[in-house]
Structure 1
Amino acid sequence: MNQPFVSLCPEISRADALTLMDWLEDECVTRHLSDSRHVSRSIQQVINRVQLPILTHLFNQGGRFFMACDRDDVKVGFVRLVKAGPNCEMVLVIGNRDNWGRQLGASAIREAMKLAFFEMQADKLIAKIHPDNARSLKVFQRCGFLLESQTIGLKCLAMTSERYLRLLREGAAGYADNIHITEIDQARLRNLLAFGQASASFELAHEIERAIVVDPRQMPRDVVTMNSRALLQLDEDEMEVALVYPDDAEDGAGKLSVCAGIGTAILGCREGDAFDWRLPDRTWRIRIGSVLYQPEAAGDFHL
């Protein structure tokens, strides 16, 4: 399944707020959004009242707000996640009508599920959709949401954490490329997360859950496992790296922690894999050129 790349960026700039205003002035965009006029008015008040270049803290009042960005870091929509008890409600908008039909919504939903279930620890993710909004209903259902309840003016679709994890482990959650980890690495990484040794680790938790688990002696030789060394291509630059646990990380020496950034991105990937990954500064194209050393292939099962 070839899905377009979408990342959810938590920083909201003044320029982003103006873009949101433009989207919310389009009747086709706001037709099925509840209270869109109030939202538009609130954004306008923020812009007029606060003379700051970054407005993230204002947009995050009462929930989490993200700009949805494409591969070129162009803002294509927004996602809002509001936690209420064990459940989380999601609002998704793809703002420019020229982007409708490109499956950007499905990619944004998958990123939102990752955040809701792995970072916000929600038991259930809910989307409340107008019955006439056939496009939104279709995309949420395609992502695995099930109809939970409905009234004349609203359909409530839901995804539970249990269902999401099952889809993730079965490879039915819409991620294009499989990754592989050993049974030993899986156990060690889960312990790492359980004891709070990994900061900003929801991405790693997600990768562990979606990975195909392999006996160390049966691991293909071209997979990046823990303590492997690999030659990567980052956009146009090449670099040799080692994938290590946090205590062994040295960025200057090319020893990348599995708990963050490129380290999380390459875990379980194979030679020739190429994909986009959002880092704090921007989106990068990462390609696994070759696996130079793999403990399992070398018989170093103690590492």
Structure 2
Amino acid sequence: MNGPFVSLCSEITRTDALALMDWLEDECVTRYLSDSRHVSRFIEQVLGRVRLPILTPLFNQGGRFFMAYDRHDARVGFVRLVRTGADCEMVLVIGNRNDWGRRLGAAAIREAMKLAFLDMRAERLIARIHPDNVRSLKAFERCGFLPDSHTPALTSYALTSARYRQRLRGSPASHGAGIQITEIDKDRLGRLLAFVQDPAAFELEHEIERAIVVDPGEVPGDVVTMNSRALLQLDDETLEVTLVYPEDADCRAGKLSVCSGIGTAILGYRAGDALDWRMPDRTRHIRIEKVLYQPEATGHFHL
């Protein structure tokens, strides 16, 4: 939980827009951002003519726009994803100079990759970077992007969906703390994803893709598998939950669907693990205190 953490939120408020304006007035921030003047004028026009507190639809015209937050829910930047045919192009800005060097850029790139490939189903993700923007070039290279084309003004980097998934499976720890999932759970959850209509289901797909797959008989007894019961510390609250399939969910009985925010978050983690997970309204801090019951540990492989 001590590594860099960034979450992307699609809801854009007037307060967000004012923060963007401040960032775009900093010459060091906009130096390599080719359309900064256009973006700044757009935001100024929006704030001048629209009095609504929520500006999400306006910011998502022609693409998808996300504010980036750290684990303390402080705004640190923004990401824009624009779909062009089968490809998707990313624009990333870490807006506060005090946040530079915290590896938040790479964390934001990984979150944008998840959205582009698992939610938007892009075949390629492209980033066009000024050749002198060494910090950004290194961040994209660390995330698996490869040089695609080059001009004196811009260097294009690209990552394919196939390479992204290969890297998820080959180096899962680079996309978060390592988690484990049994072969049976992976098969069942894979079939579940084919029918789930929840827009946030791509988060579960990401966790399944990056998990280390183990034999049900060899999974450690303190790992949260499907139908496990665990004691959690959720921010300042202690609660007991059972991780279940959507049809068995019952919040009043503590049965959390694996497709819910907390349900997806705890899948595959072990007792003692701690993680941050963005819910719709804020980031929650979760610790797995104890696994009280695990089907595999008692030979209940049919659950």
Q: TM-score, normalised by structure 1?
A: 0.98
**Partner Cα separation in structure 1 for residue 273 and residue 96 of structure 2:** 31
**Counterpart in 1 of 2:155?**
155
**Partner Cα separation in structure 2 for residue 151 and residue 173 of structure 1:** 34
Contact 2:271 2:289 in 1 (8 A): yes
**Counterpart in 2 of 1:40?**
40
- 1:276 partnered with 2:283: no
**Counterpart in 2 of 1:252?**
252
**Partner Cα separation in structure 1 for residue 23 and residue 135 of structure 2:** 17
Query: Map of 1:193-208 to 2, 5 A cutoff?
Result: 193-196=193-196, 199-208=199-208
**Counterpart in 1 of 2:66?**
66
Query: Map of 1:69-80 to 2, 5 A cutoff?
Result: 69-80=69-80
What's the CA shift string for 1:230-288, capped at 9, x where partnerless? 00000111100000000000111110000121000000010000011111121111000
**Partner Cα separation in structure 1 for residue 261 and residue 150 of structure 2:** 41
**Counterpart in 2 of 1:21?**
21
**Partner Cα separation in structure 2 for residue 280 and residue 222 of structure 1:** 29
**Partner Cα separation in structure 2 for residue 63 and residue 254 of structure 1:** 38
Partner SS for 2:204: helix
**Partner Cα separation in structure 2 for residue 198 and residue 283 of structure 1:** 20
Contact 2:172 2:178 in 1 (8 A): no
Contact 2:67 2:78 in 1 (8 A): yes
Q: CA deviation at 1:173?
A: 6.5
Partner SS for 1:216: coil
Query: Map of 1:166-181 to 2, 5 A cutoff?
Result: 166-171=166-171, 174-181=174-181
Partner SS for 1:80: strand
**Counterpart in 1 of 2:6?**
6
The AA in structure 1 aligned to 2:72 is: D
Contact 2:275 2:287 in 1 (8 A): yes
- 1:300 partnered with 2:300: yes
**Aligned residue pairs, count:** 303
Partner SS for 2:57: helix
RMSD, aligned CA = 1.2
Contact 1:230 1:288 in 2 (8 A): yes
Query: Map of 1:38-187 to 2, 5 A cutoff?
Result: 38-171=38-171, 174-187=174-187
The AA in structure 2 aligned to 1:129 is: I
Which consecutive segments of 4 or more residues in structure 1 shift more than 6 A?
Answer: none
Change (3 A) 1:15 1:46: same
Partner SS for 2:137: helix
**Partner Cα separation in structure 1 for residue 71 and residue 251 of structure 2:** 25
**Partner Cα separation in structure 2 for residue 2 and residue 137 of structure 1:** 24
**Partner Cα separation in structure 1 for residue 71 and residue 133 of structure 2:** 27
The sequence identity of aligned pairs, in percent, is 71
**Partner Cα separation in structure 2 for residue 33 and residue 22 of structure 1:** 15
The AA in structure 1 aligned to 2:216 is: P
What's the CA shift string for 1:132-179, capped at 9, x where partnerless? 111111111111111011011110001111111111101257234111
Unaligned runs of 5+ in 1: none
What's the CA shift string for 1:90-144, capped at 9, x where partnerless? 0000001111111110110010001111100111100000111111111111111
Unaligned runs of 5+ in 2: none
The AA in structure 2 aligned to 1:210 is: R
The AA in structure 1 aligned to 2:13 is: S
Partner SS for 2:68: strand
**Partner Cα separation in structure 2 for residue 214 and residue 198 of structure 1:** 27
Contact 1:242 1:255 in 2 (8 A): yes
Q: CA deviation at 1:196?
A: 3.2
The AA in structure 2 aligned to 1:223 is: V
What's the CA shift string for 1:203-240, capped at 9, x where partnerless? 00000000011111111100000000000000111100
Contact 1:94 1:104 in 2 (8 A): yes
**Partner Cα separation in structure 2 for residue 36 and residue 199 of structure 1:** 31
Q: CA deviation at 1:200?
A: 2.3
**Counterpart in 2 of 1:226?**
226
The AA in structure 1 aligned to 2:85 is: G
Q: CA deviation at 1:197?
A: 5.6
User: Bigger CA drift: 33-42 or 286-295?
Assistant: 33-42
